[in-house]
Structure 1
Amino acid sequence: MIERIIEGRRRDLGGFEVSRILPHAQKRMVGPFVFLDQMGPAEFAPGSDAINVRPHPHIGLSTLTYLFEGEIMHRDSLGYTQAIRPGEVNWMTAGSGIVHSERTDPLKKSQGGAMHGMQAWVALPVEKEEIAPSFTHLGEDAQPTYENGGLFARLVAGEAFGAKAGTPVESPLFYIHWEMAEGVRAAPPPPKSKGGYTERALFVAKGVIEVDGRPFHEGQMIVLSAQAEPTVTALQPSSVMVLGGEPLGERLIWWNFVSSSKDRMEQAKADWQAGRMKLPVDDDQEFIPLPEA
């Protein structure tokens, strides 16, 4: 039932740790998901810098931010300023190019507190890589949910189990948040042959689950084989992200840029270095320089 197991790799982003799951050397993408980070879990002391990601550019993708705990303030070059809180969704389509920052509000910094969430990048189909940039925020009550017998499920993006989320996706995909009490059982969307999806995976954000008779713990991704129809059992209270979709083909990734074209990637580098990409309207006093490598 299991094609591959991916161990998250911890990285320090200047005082804040993330676990990098995708891309992986042996599994670059799952469906259109080309990047997946777990942010935290962390507890910030009052007055600490918390989340402080300066303005930076994207092309050729959509970013999806989803939180279990905490708050992040999003600002972008389209003029949007939007806080995201647990259960909400920030969906930003970069397309031909967008610049944004992600920071902790000064008041929240002074108070301190917990931070735990997920950030995903979803590659755009080749014919839509250069669409106009856009931003969509969905509140906690604006997404399909299901709750029964110790299982809470929220459809964060895409379509699954006859439901459709409000995120403006550009290709077939699903992204689901499960909260599972100990002993609860659940099943991911079926394989393509049963009306589901070609590629599917489970990521354990918290707790321990069992798949195909094997236990998996926080920070592990289980990539399912094409025809697998597993039952997932929570061995303790667990938070699980279930994701997948239809593959889009190979993509180049360099820094914050995703593209099917090397020339387009080079153009994006040159545009950022030359200052040709507009900074966020309410956050234009600093930015992250183009890396040297």
Structure 2
Amino acid sequence: MLDLIIDARPADLGNGFGVRRILPYRLKRMLGPFIFLDHAGPVHVAPEQMPALDVLPHPHIGLSTVSYLFGGQVMHRDSLGVEQVIRPGEVNWMTAGSGIAHSERFEDPAALAGGALEMVQSWVALPEADEENAPSFANYQPHELPVFTDAGVWMRLIAGDAFGLRNEVKTHSPLFYLHVVLQPGARFGLPRGYPERGAYVAKGSVEVNGRAYTAGQLLVFTPGIDPVLVAREASTLMLLGGEPLGERYIWWNFVSSRRERIEQAKADWQAGRIALPPTDNAEFVPLPSDRSRPASSSPPPQPLS
């Protein structure tokens, strides 16, 4: 029933802002089109310390970044001139395509009002035919994202198609992405019709076939199996998956079906050919000194767990 259990690993965004990194993983580089998954927070800091969490302008190609918050707020700025505050329950969907730079800043003291900053960011790889599309950005408000409730279950469709729910979030390949909250004892399954499916336990713990799984674990399920997840306590899950896109290379913030395209992106950022956000261009993240070649998304054979 379970192909793999991935434990989140600690990672540093480079400014002391620690996150839990789930994807990519050495035995599972991608889950459907999802090639990256980070869980940041909850972070409790004084207002004067918030600027230390800022993520300076940095580039992307060949993917869509998807930001979703549980708490706090973040200011997004990008090369297109977009300035957008994202708050809990909203979705920021930025498609990098041929190349974009953006920043994420924590500049409003009200960002932590009423609680801590906590967010999940994923990257969705693009089909080969869309990798060089013009970059774009969209913010989706909570009323645009359908919610389903049942006894002990609350669920929001972030993107894609699942359980008969759809929304207007623009995607480029078949996928599903859900925020699910379960009360103790509640039972929940996974959307059918997708060859790759997983459940990330963001908070609490769940049970599958009598075995417990806790916060920080991504459960990757066998295709064709319909598992039942039972909440052992109040729990928050992120369900994700979809159709695989084939091999992808990933290096730093760049994703592509072609290794040479990533090498070109490195040179473009180094030479300043990827524009900075027009209202946030005084500083940026330099190209890392690591000269390693892009890693393939094709993993070695996966052991059953």
If the TM-score is normalised by the length of the shorter chain, which range does it land in? over 0.9
Q: Which of the numbers 137, 140, 143 marks the counterpart of 1:138?
A: 140
Any conservation in 2 of the 1:197–1:244 contact (CA below 8 Å)? yes
| Structure-to-structure mapping, 1:212-223, within 5 angstroms | 212-223=209-220
User: 8 Å contact 1:48–1:112 — kept in the other structure?
Assistant: no
Distance 1:76 1:64, change over 3 A: same
Residues 60 and 83 of structure 1, relative CA distance in 2, 3 Å threshold: same
Contact map agreement 1:2 1:228 (CA 8 A) in 2: no
Q: Give the structure 1 partner of residue 196 of structure 2.
A: 199
Following TM superposition, by how much is the alpha carbon of 1:12 offset from its aligned partner in structure 2, in angstroms? 2.7
Q: Does the 8 Å CA contact 1:46/1:111 hold for their aligned counterparts?
A: no
Q: Which amino acid aligns with 2:186?
A: V
* Equivalent residue for 2:276, pick from 275, 279, 284: 279
Distance of 1:52 and 1:112 partners within structure 2: 20
Correspondence for 2:265: 268
Deviation at 1:127, TM superposition (A): 1.1
- Residue number among 254, 272, 289 corresponding to 1:292 in the alignment: 289
Tell me the secondary structure at the aligned position of residue 97 of structure 2.
coil
| Residue 4, structure 1, aligned to residue 4, structure 2 | yes
Aligned AA for 1:122? V
Cα distance between partner residues in 1 of 2:113 and 2:166? 37
Aligned partner letter, 2:24: P
Change (3 A) 1:151 1:112: closer
Moved over 6 A (4+): 109-112
| Deviation sequence 1:109-136 (CA, Å, 0-9, x none) | 7979511110000000011100110001
Q: State the distance in 2 between where 1:124 and 1:203 align.
A: 22
> What letter is aligned with 1:170?
H
CA contact (8 A) 1:61 1:123 kept: yes
Residue 46 of structure 1: how far off its partner (Å): 2.7
Whole-angstrom CA distance in 2 between matches of 1:57 and 1:242: 27
Measure the CA separation in 1 of the matches of 2:146 and 2:114: 31
Tell me which moved more, 117-126 or 35-44: 35-44
For 2:239, the aligned partner's letter is V
1:40 Cα deviation from its structure 2 partner = 1.2
With normalisation by structure 1, the TM-score equals 0.95
Partner of 1:69: 71
Q: Which residue of 2 aligns with 1:25?
A: 26
Question: d(CA) in 1 for partners of 2:121 and 2:47?
Answer: 24
Gaps of 5+ in 2: 291-305
Provide the C-alpha distance between the structure 1 equivalents of 2:114 and 2:160, rounded to a whole number of angstroms.
33
After superposition, residues 97-176 of structure 1 pair within 5 angstroms as 97-108=99-110, 113-176=115-178
Instruction: Give CA-to-partner distance per residue, 1:85-110, whole Å, 9 cap, x none.
Output: 11100000000001100010243479
1:58·1:99 contact (CA, 8 Å) conserved in 2? Answer: yes
**8 A contact 1:47–1:110 mirrored in 2:** no
- Alignment partner, residue 44 of structure 2: 43
Q: How far has the Cα of 1:212 moved from its partner?
A: 2.0
**CA 1:97–1:207: 2 relative to 1, 3 Å:** same
Of 35-44 and 94-103, the range deviating more from structure 2 = 35-44
Q: Find the counterpart in structure 1 of residue 55 from structure 2.
A: 53
Partner of 2:85: 83
Q: In the aligned structure 1, how far is the partner of 2:111 from the partner of 2:199? A: 32
Give the whole-Å Cα distance in 1 for the aligned partners of 2:236 and 2:16. Answer: 24
Kindly state the Cα deviation for residue 165 of structure 1 after the two structures are TM-superposed.
2.2
CA separation in 1, counterparts of 2:86 and 2:253?
Answer: 21
Post-superposition offset of 1:199: 0.1
Give the Cα–Cα distance (whole angstroms) in 2 for the partners of residues 110 and 67 of structure 1: 12
Please list the CA deviations of residues 215-257 of structure 1 after superposition, one character each: whole Å capped at 9, or x if unmatched: 1110000000012101111100000000000000111100000
Number of the residue aligned with 1:249: 246
More displaced, 166-175 or 44-53?
A: 44-53
Give identity over the alignment, percent. 55
Contact 2:98 2:132 in 1 (8 A): yes
Letter of the structure 2 residue corresponding to residue 169 of structure 1? T
Q: 1:12 to 1:159 in 2, by over 3 A?
A: same
Contact 1:6 1:220 (C-alpha < 8 Å) held by counterparts: yes
Q: Which residue of 1 aligns with 2:186?
A: 184
Q: TM-score, normalised by structure 2?
A: 0.92
Is residue 203–residue 241 contact of structure 1 (8 Å, CA) maintained in 2? yes
Distance 1:110 1:188, change over 3 A: closer
User: Which amino acid letter does the alignment assign opposite residue 28 of structure 2?
Assistant: K
What is the Cα-based RMSD across aligned positions, in Å?
A: 1.4
Give the equivalent residue in structure 2 for 1:193. Answer: none
Question: How many pairs does the alignment contain?
Answer: 288
